[in-house]
Amino acid sequence: MTAAAASRPSRNPFAGVDRNRRDMIIVAALLVLVVVYPLLFRFLQANLGFVPWPDTSVLIVCATFGILALGLNIVMGFAGLLDLGYVAFYAIGAYTTAFLASPHFGIHISWWIVVWVAVGAAAVFGILLGAPTLKLRGDYLAIVTLGFGEIVPIVFRNLGDFTLALPAILGGAILIGPNANLTGGNIGINPIDPPTLPIPGPWGSEIVFSNQQPTFSLYLVVALLCLTFFICVRLRDSKLGRAWMAIREDETAAAAMGINTVTSKLLAFALGASFSGFAGAFTGAYNTAIFAESFRFQTSILIVVMIILGGIGSLRGVVIGAFAVQYVNLTFLAWAAQFVNPPINSLGDTTGIELLADFNLVNYNFLIFGVILAVMMVKRPEGLFPVETARAEMHGVGISSELTGGGDTELALAEESVFEAAPDLVDQGGDPTSTAGSALMADTPPDTIRDRDLPEDTR
Amino acid sequence: MAFSDRFLEARWTTVIVFSILILVLVFRPTGLLAEKASERA
């Protein structure tokens, strides 16, 4: 690792700077960028309009999914539990907010309180899902979580119009209903009270964090993202975080070493779910409306794509993955479509092929993510900004020097191109104290690590 | 027409199906007719 870092000194603008200090500089720069971005966007749009700049509302969605990706990263990246139904907790957080802060039930509790209720509700459901599935691993766990992720949005949709009655044999008395409306069904719950702060200014008598005032909403969601990120960093370095990583690597061995795997896995589910509830509470209040349609299986998959793309287990990576995927999804494809669509459509018109005549690049977003993932699994399975242990596991220790020496030039070239694309971000060298396995790796000859059996769970 | 439609409306079918799947996997992780129970890895 140190040898690899030393071999690229010239391209790293932070060479020789203390890592913590460098991270602080990067974070501060990013925060300043966020603060000025709503103003900067108008300037960029006017003067450099040929580049598809994301507008503020796109950045808000990006940051929301950053929170979701960080939460899923706890479950999948740290504890190694494959969760394909993560969107369920997002829905639970959003609906909790809608129940407690909307005219739907006539309850209007301040969002600043409701958000913690939503976090708690999501955590409770995380434990409810986690407890019965403790003995399941790998693909079996994936199926159960997938089923849970399918059930929850459908239940929320169906509870818009339902009647709970005793069976006819017991008298058929109606317990709830008839035709009770708990969740608004397909119409959803609209409106929801947005978060407000009683600070008067040019914007009115109070700040409203809704999509009517995207600038303030951006500041709020970035603050929430920073809070989530900070908690995740502390969790990763905590005793619990190291227990999760030990479970991820080998659950049986972790249990034999005295780790309470039951508590650790339940906490992973609960904490992962609570961040999802956090994001859900913000989304519901920011959009001032929620619909069961927005919590489909696709959304779960999108979050999984984000963390795999960014580098599973890497906090920096999954946030960048979330921003990248949502930026492509919401801004880039629409921008690229105006160049790609017309020639394909006219080709379809002349040849009479309907598929081409109706072609719209935006509708092919999941195909594009699928291709990107497939290519990534071949070229860079550990993600764009991986943690050091994942990279070492996939390629052998000391990535660039080892690989060029090892003769696998294709992978080395892929490495190099990414280093060139974002040298300051990729050249982290990893945090040796952050991961459970790195101390072990440092003392093990590279060949042993490369040849050992990799764990078969989803890394 | 799904069997559960006799008791519940058809829009609940997916919920019933996945609930049964989850319950089976939780209580009989090796499947309904597994010869011997071993921990699924």
Return the DSSP state at A454.
Answer: P
Contact (Cβ atoms closer than 8 angstroms) between residue A328 and residue A234? no
CA–CA distance, A455 with A448 (Å, rounded to integer): 15
Confidence of residue A180 (pLDDT cuts 50, 70, 90): confident
CB contacts, 8 Å: A151 with chain B? 14-15, 18-19
Confidence of residue A208 (pLDDT cuts 50, 70, 90): confident
Under an 8 A CB cutoff, do A147 and B21 touch? yes
Nearest CA to CA, how far is B33 from chain A (Å)?
16
CA–CA distance, A307 with A383 (Å, rounded to integer): 8
CA–CA distance, A19 with A24 (Å, rounded to integer): 9
Task: Give the number of other Cβ atoms within 10 Å of residue A168's Cβ.
Answer: 7
Comparing A302 with A409, the larger pLDDT belongs to A302
pLDDT at A47: 83
Q: In chain B, which residues touch A (CB < 8 A)?
A: 9, 11-12, 14-15, 18-19, 21-22, 25-26, 29, 39-41
Task: Give the number of other Cβ atoms within 10 Å of residue A412's Cβ.
Answer: 19
Confidence of residue A401 (pLDDT cuts 50, 70, 90): very low
Comparing A439 with A15, the larger pLDDT belongs to A15
3-state SS of A199-226 is CCECCECCEECCCCCHHHHHHHHHHHHH
CA–CA distance, A121 with A40 (Å, rounded to integer): 38
3-state SS of A64-105 is HHHHHHHHHHHHHHHCCCCCCCCHHHHHHHHHHHHHHEECCC
Tokens encoding A271? 């904490």
Under an 8 A CB cutoff, do A137 and B40 touch? yes
Please name the residues in contact with A46: beta carbons below 8 A apart, sequence gap of 6 or more. none
Question: DSSP 3-state helix, strand, coil percentages of chain B (rounded to 5)?
Answer: 55, 0, 45
CA–CA distance, A57 with A75 (Å, rounded to integer): 28
Interval A201-213 mean pLDDT: 84
Under an 8 A CB cutoff, do B40 and A135 touch? yes
Under an 8 A CB cutoff, do A158 and B25 touch? no
Interval A222-230 mean pLDDT: 94
